[in-house]
């Protein structure tokens, strides 16, 4: 199959942009592979899951079905941290997935170091691959753990960041692309609030006295999430909006 034939097949299956990205990444593609990819596009598979890469904050990350693809909305979380002008902070990333958040922070903050935690062994393999590729193994440690038991050393962190699962079970707003993501990274019990409740309850054990917690939220969740953290004794500092004007990040102190 010629590249032009593959382009036309993929364009019909997923649109011009998807076809262009895929053929740019696979300049030589067999008839069989092209038809498999076309089928995946028609089923709603994100392009990043097909080419196994996604750019985030100017860095390229490997991604697969074990992780969420890095999303532009989450760059708001990185921007929020960077705007506070940290110097040589210790960072804890809860639910790291691909490792994109902590990697972007360590790349952009002088002398920053940290620990990335995830409960999924598959996600941890992806994060390790990305941290190695970005030459950050001496600055970022990858650990298996949960929001309730991250298995951390006895130290406090200046920054805690998290983009936890926050979609309520059965939420009709979830698009077809989400079916290609791991459910554990998307959905949370208690109407999507369970992960926030766990983090609010436990993260005070891991944060330094002058530290800050930056957490991503879903559209329309600001009031509910803020109540959870304030009830647990956190001090609300500010909210940050994404490029669409949706409140996307909440910042808390102790």
- Asked whether residue 24 is domain-assigned, the answer is yes
Question: In the prediction, which pLDDT does 213 show?
Answer: 98
Residue 27 lies in a domain: yes
Percent of the chain with pLDDT over 90: 79
Q: Is the pLDDT of residue 179 over 90?
A: no
Pair 182, 202 in one domain = yes
What residues are paired with 240 via a beta bridge? 249
| 125 part of a folded domain | yes
Which residues on neighbouring strands pair with residue 54, listed in sequence order?
A: 61
**133 shares its domain with 24:** no
Domain assignment present for 48: no
- Average per-residue pLDDT for the chain: 93
pLDDT band, very low/low/confident/very high, at 2 (cuts 50, 70, 90): confident
pLDDT tens digit sequence for 101-148: 999 999 999 999 999 999 999 999 999 999 999 999 999 999 999 998
Residues 146 and 27 placed together within one structural domain of the fold = no
pLDDT digits (tens, 9 = 90+) for 63-111: 999 999 999 999 999 999 999 999 999 999 999 999 999 999 999 999 9
Domain that holds residue 16: 3-43
Determine the pLDDT at residue 194: 94
Residues contacting residue 41 through CB under 8 Å, at least 6 positions apart? 10, 13, 14, 18, 47, 50
Banded model confidence at residue 172, pLDDT cuts 50, 70, 90? low
Task: Please report which confidence band the pLDDT of residue 251 belongs to, taking 50, 70 and 90 as the band edges.
Answer: very high
Does residue 233 form part of some domain?
A: yes
Instruction: Judge whether 136 lies within some domain.
Output: yes
Residue 234 and residue 183 share a domain: yes
State the pLDDT at residue 176. Answer: 61
**Residues 31 and 152 reside in one and the same domain:** no
Q: Are residues 105 and 196 in the same domain?
A: yes
Q: In the numeric block, which tokens belong to residue 160?
A: 């805690």
- Looking at residue 91, its pLDDT comes to 98
Does the residue 25 lie in any domain? yes
Total domains in the chain come to 2
Q: Are residues 11 and 133 in the same domain?
A: no
Q: Do residue 219 and residue 135 come from a single domain?
A: yes
| Residue 182's pLDDT band (cuts 50, 70, 90) | confident
The verdict on 39 and 137 lying in the same domain is: no
Q: DSSP for 114-134, please give it.
A: EEEEES-HHHHHHHHHHHHHT
Q: Does residue 34 sit in the same domain as residue 59?
A: no
**230 vs 241: CA distance, rounded Å:** 20
Q: Given a cut of 90, is residue 154 above it in pLDDT?
A: no
Q: Is residue 73 part of a domain?
A: yes
- Statement: residue 39 has pLDDT above 90: yes
In this structure, the answer to whether residues 158 and 225 fall within a common structural domain is yes
Which residues are CB-neighbours of 181 under 8 A, at least 6 positions away?
65, 67, 68, 69
Same-domain pairing of 119 and 223: yes
- CATH code, domain with 98: 3.40.50.150
| Confidence (pLDDT) at 175 | 64
């Amino acid at each position: 199959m010629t590249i032009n034939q593959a382009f036309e097949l993929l364009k019909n299956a997923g649109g011009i942009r998807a076809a262009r990205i895929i053929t740019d990444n696979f300049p030589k593609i067999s008839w069989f592979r092209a038809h498999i990819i076309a089928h995946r596009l028609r089923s709603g598979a994100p392009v990043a899951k097909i080419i196994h890469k996604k750019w985030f904050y100017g860095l390229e990350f490997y991604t697969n079905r074990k992780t969420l693809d890095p999303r532009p909305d989450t760059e708001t979380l990185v921007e929020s941290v960077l705007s506070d002008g940290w110097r040589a902070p210790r960072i804890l990333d809860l639910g790291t997935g691909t490792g994109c958040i902590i990697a972007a922070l360590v790349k952009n903050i002088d002398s920053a170091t940290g620990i990335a935690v995830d409960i999924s062994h598959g996600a941890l393999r992806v994060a390790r691959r990305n941290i190695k590729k970005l030459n950050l193994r001496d600055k970022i440690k990858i650990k298996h753990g949960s929001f309730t038991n991250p298995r951390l050393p006895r130290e406090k962190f200046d920054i805690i960041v998290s983009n936890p699962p926050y979609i309520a079970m059965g939420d009709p707003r979830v698009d077809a692309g989400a079916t290609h993501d791991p459910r554990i990274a998307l959905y949370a019990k208690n109407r999507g609030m369970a992960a926030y409740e766990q983090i609010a309850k436990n993260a005070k054990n891991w944060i330094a006295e002058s530290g800050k917690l930056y957490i991503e939220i879903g559209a329309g969740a600001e009031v509910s999430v803020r109540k959870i953290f304030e009830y647990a004794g956190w001090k609300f500092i500010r909210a940050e909006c994404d490029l669409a004007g949706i409140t996307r990040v909440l910042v808390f102190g102790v």
